[in-house]
Structure 1
Amino acid sequence: MAKPRKTNAKSTKRPTPPPTSEQKRLRRKDPSVVPSAPYLLASKLLDVACDAPVLHTVCPPNGWRSAVGEWGVFPHGKLSHSYDSYFGGDVDRDVTYEDFMRAAPVSSRTSNQLQATLGNYYKFAFQTSSTTLCDLTNPFALCVLCALVLMIRIFKKMFMPKFSSLGKRLGRAAHGPDWENGNQDRIVKFGEYVYRLIYHSCVSAYGLWYFRDKSWWNNDMGGTKNLWMLHPNHPVEPGMAWYYLVQCAYNVDALLSLILLSFTVEWVCPVTYSSACYFLGKDCCIGDMKQTRYNQIRSSGQKPQCDSEIILQTPLLLLKWSPTVRGDFREMMAHHIITNLLILGSSYFRFTRIGSMIFLVHDLSELPIELSKLFNFVKWKVASAVSFSIMLVMWVVARLGIFPFLIFRSLLLESYEFLVVQGTMDPAFYSMHVVPFTYLLGGLISLHIMWFFILLRIGWTLVSKGEAHDYSEHKDGEDQTDKKTR
């Protein structure tokens, strides 16, 4: 059985020597049964779900793998593997709260050992390295993550209306008393700008302080080679675990907010479903009449009688594009999906060091973006131009410089050497797990390049017209949905 991780963050354990060729041959796995990274991540979430009290009675007694026949039979079944079973004794088990309490000195325990004290929870969460909090697919970490997402949504519910109210007053002062009548969307977005500025300022300040002495940021200490050395057993300090939890909570909330902003759901009475289908087919471009009705609307300049285009039509509900859907929906949805997959995957496969570098690079480059939007909102032209110039420089340095040429380069050129050649990872496992991360990060870099050209367009507007334009504020919501339904 794998041993629990040591609770001391600064371990003096010497690095294990590179494995011999015979050791590599003995641990080499059959590539035909090596599970893919997306499968292992999904299987871990299924394991967690089946262990939950509510779903435990629904899942098969011997686990969900017993229901898939030969595919679930270990070791040759394609669905039989898990991350722990694949690595075996090469992976140190994360410290659970029970492990922590067993290792705690007797003098520090309370008289009632059945009840955990707040002091013990604090020491476990904030003073113990490599706990179950560092794996976001762990049930305990998932509960903490859900609590953080709820706290973020409560904070936004309480303070974003106040931020928007401030934007309304500033808008009146900058644009005139009648300005707010047709700019409610911009007033709401002002609150979002302030919220994102506060968040990125806080996490950037923490990141600069926390990572100031980390070896993977210091070339004199080995630089990016430390991203891969001793993987997957390098310690995850409490500061790193909470940094990941907060970042994941923010990105999960951003994805939820985008979905709620872009879609609406209407419940349909099954009794009136056939009449509703005729109405939707005639007036809302659904079914066989869609293309004919769409051409009629385009030629006459009319609009459909329904509020928005239908995406999904069932006897119980209608899924529609919301009137508040924004012009950059597709780019932001792709960005949030890729980001959340990278966060969960990097946490599960213990690539938290490279993940933390990507977080910090993105957070620092977000600050001038939000400042530029705020200055443009209140028509501070000089401040807007200065912040926009800083934004372009930060974007080029951080997202088009450090990210691809330092972080992504290390993934391409250094990871195989230290994970496979000098490490304990099997080549087949590397190709099935590290390579998918390479494609996801490559997709993220592609989005950055595309957004850079959008920023150049905004810069040209700023130079030629004296004010910048946020391309996510399009009032052509109909055009956006038209493109999606064609």
Structure 2
Amino acid sequence: MDGLKWLVDNHHKALSVTEYADDYRYAAAFALAFPCLRYILNKTMYEPLGKRFMFRGKKGKLLPGSDSAKRMSKWTESCWKMTVYSSFSLLGLIVSWNKPWLNDTRYFWRGCTDFPCNHPSSRDLRWLYSVSMGFYIYSIPSLFLWEIRRKDFLEQIAHHFVTLFLIVYSHYVNFMRVGGMVMLLHDLCDIWLEFAKLGNYANNEMLSTALFVVFLVVWIAMRIVYFPFWIIRSTLFEVLSEVHAIVPHVPREPHYTLFNGLLIVLLALHLYWTVLIIKVVLGKLRSGRTEDVRED
């Protein structure tokens, strides 16, 4: 509890009160804007594209509850997610491209001599945080109200809550360097998953299979290799050598256990979804079709 009290008392060392308020204000604005943007894109882009590629341009309304309407819902959902993850990946790459921690994870912590970390936070990184925070604020109610319910619904809820808490917490204690990389490696994977699903919905098995192979390679590289062996290794060990060994007066708790605990929960979810991905691969080898095993 002493560490928690110290952390609250010293939070102003990371960002000013005005900067915190600005970032959260922008996040709230993005959270309100996302459903409006999704609705507009559904009507103007995603549904017309779905009719063209899934139904070969057939005219007429889709009957609510019909198989065609369900396919269209899946199509528009994947179009939206691919748009978001592509945009976030591009933003994340722009933010991280010239930063030293892209190549050396020790720079997540260098210059940090206190907690919250007192190294400078760039405006572009804070923008990435605001838009990502807004997206996950929007995404949690969207899971209940808008998204298609799948077999891993509870895991999706857990993932979204853990991710949102990690974003807010890492922003509060200025762990934004490592947090930005965590968001980037997640978004880079999800682009290819949604693209592969679009190929499947459009009955283009060759395209869907090729994209799924790309997704599988990126998933393993980013979430099963880079995330635990670079990111979590840094948050578990490098922070101790780069900060705590140099400035021993800085309290390790609660940030060390809380932040690493949540990252490990994310890793556990990654491993769970990896099992599902392996089932998709086995199903593809048996039937020749790439099917999402989470679908009912």
TM-score (norm 2): 0.89
Which residue pairs with 1:354 in the alignment?
A: 178
Call closer, same or farther: CA 1:158–1:394 in 2, change over 3 Å: same
Bigger Cα Rg = 1
Offset of residue 411 of structure 1? 1.0
Which of 150, 153, 158 is residue 334 of structure 1 equivalent to?
A: 158
**Code of the aligned partner of 2:109:** W
Offset of residue 94 of structure 1? 2.0
Contact 1:346 1:355 in 2 (8 A): yes
Q: Pairwise mapping of residues 94-113 of structure 1 onto structure 2 (< 5 A)? A: 94=16, 96=18
Offset of residue 248 of structure 1? 1.2
User: What percentage of aligned pairs have identical amino acids?
Assistant: 27
Contact 1:388 1:459 in 2 (8 A): no
Call closer, same or farther: CA 1:425–1:194 in 2, change over 3 Å: farther
**Code of the aligned partner of 1:212:** W
Aligned-partner Cα distance in 1 for 2:235–2:128:
22
CA RMSD of aligned residues (A): 2.5
Which residue pairs with 2:3 in the alignment?
A: 34
Which of 184, 209, 216 is residue 385 of structure 1 equivalent to?
A: 209
The superposition leaves residues 373-421 of structure 1 with CA deviations (integer Å, 9 ceiling, x where unpaired) of 0111111111111111111111110110111111111111111122211
Which residue pairs with 2:51 in the alignment?
A: 168
Offset of residue 440 of structure 1? 0.6
Which of 445, 449, 469 is residue 267 of structure 2 equivalent to?
A: 445
Which of 196, 199, 223 is residue 84 of structure 2 equivalent to?
A: 199
Aligned-partner Cα distance in 2 for 1:87–1:156:
35
Contact 1:229 1:423 in 2 (8 A): no
Aligned-partner Cα distance in 1 for 2:25–2:102:
31
Aligned-partner Cα distance in 2 for 1:159–1:374:
16
Q: Pairwise mapping of residues 52-201 of structure 1 onto structure 2 (< 5 A)? A: 81=5, 83-86=7-10, 91=13, 94=16, 96=18, 132=19, 135=20, 138=21, 140-162=22-44, 163-173=46-56, 181-201=66-86
Aligned-partner Cα distance in 1 for 2:172–2:248:
17
Call closer, same or farther: CA 1:465–1:430 in 2, change over 3 Å: same
- 2:257 maps to 1:374: no
Which residue pairs with 1:226 in the alignment?
A: 107
Aligned-partner Cα distance in 2 for 1:182–1:235:
53
Contact 1:372 1:387 in 2 (8 A): yes
Which residue pairs with 2:255 in the alignment?
A: 433
Aligned-partner Cα distance in 2 for 1:192–1:155:
13
SS at the partner of 1:456?
helix
Offset of residue 255 of structure 1? 1.1
Aligned-partner Cα distance in 2 for 1:408–1:379:
39
Aligned-partner Cα distance in 1 for 2:249–2:223:
29
* Higher mean C-alpha displacement, 334-343 vs 415-424: 415-424
Call closer, same or farther: CA 1:444–1:430 in 2, change over 3 Å: same
Q: Which runs of 5+ in 1 are unaligned?
A: 1-31, 36-80, 97-131, 263-323, 475-486
Contact 1:174 1:379 in 2 (8 A): no
SS at the partner of 2:56?
helix
Aligned-partner Cα distance in 2 for 1:174–1:334:
39
Superposition misfits of 4+ residues, deviation over 4 angstroms: 177-180
Which of 215, 220, 229 is residue 396 of structure 1 equivalent to?
A: 220
**Code of the aligned partner of 1:423:** V
Call closer, same or farther: CA 1:161–1:457 in 2, change over 3 Å: farther
Call closer, same or farther: CA 1:153–1:87 in 2, change over 3 Å: closer
Q: Which runs of 5+ in 2 are unaligned?
A: none
Which residue pairs with 1:471 in the alignment?
A: 293
Offset of residue 34 of structure 1? 3.1
Offset of residue 340 of structure 1? 0.5
